[in-house]
Amino acid sequence: EIVMTQSPLSLPVTPGEPASISCRSSQSLLDSVDGNIYLDWYLQKPGQSPQLLIYALSYRASGVPDRFSGSGSGTDFTLKISRVEAEDVGVYYCMQRNEFPVTFGPGTRVDIK
Amino acid sequence: QVRLQESGPGLVKPSETLSLTCSVSGGTISSYSWTWIRQPAGKGLEWIGRIFASGSIEYNPSLRARVSMSLDKTKIQFSLRLTSVTAADSAVYYCARDTPYLLWGQGTRVTVSS
């Protein structure tokens, strides 16, 4: 199975400042047939179910603020928050669905400094 | 507005079978794929498997020997069975629709203990 890693695992942030989370996969997530990269980002706020932020590398899910953006290629991916807000705290997970079984990264805990 | 709701016993004895149901309201189950994901307390997410509206199923190889899923289109729900449970199966179990997972249930906590 594809192993997903994330860094850092903990990220203290200052409101108004940018933040970045890295995710790496043990194999390329580039689909050779359609050229898409099936890498998604989820945020799990305290006490809640995970919520979809970014899908297929860089597409924001409906209702997700444009301060969130996803990028990357092959095996290295980044989630960026242009200006962190207090409501952005929680655990961020990257997830690959390019190959069966679907696998998640270990999560990055984001909290306010 | 489509909603997912997990239900089932919160406590299961070791070696017994865990059975959960995800009820879909406000929509049909005759499209999409339907997934189970779990999260042990304080830990990350583990994909258990998914069932397609067509009836085809994919299980995580790590659980394949113990897991089964089914779909009930008349009741608009899908189910998870996990046999021979141990304490390691204690987790919050989520159901979700399709990929990417835009729609999740609220989760149901299952504890395996005698």
Mean pLDDT by runs of 10 across the 114 residues of chain B is: 96 98 94 96 97 95 97 94 98 95 96 97
Question: How close, in Å, is residue B105 to chain A by CA atoms?
Answer: 7
Question: How close, in Å, is residue B46 to chain A by CA atoms?
Answer: 7
Query: With an 8 Å Cβ cutoff, are B99 and A50 in contact?
Result: no
Name residue B42's amino acid: G
Query: With an 8 Å Cβ cutoff, are A104 and B105 in contact?
Result: no
Cβ count near B25 (within 10 Å) = 11
β A10-13/A108-112 pair status? parallel
Q: What pLDDT shows up at residue B31?
A: 87
Q: What pLDDT shows up at residue A71?
A: 98
In which element (H, E) is residue A23 found?
strand A19-25
Q: What pLDDT shows up at residue B98?
A: 87
Residue-wise pLDDT tens digits, A18-63: 999 999 999 999 998 999 999 999 999 999 999 999 999 999 999 9
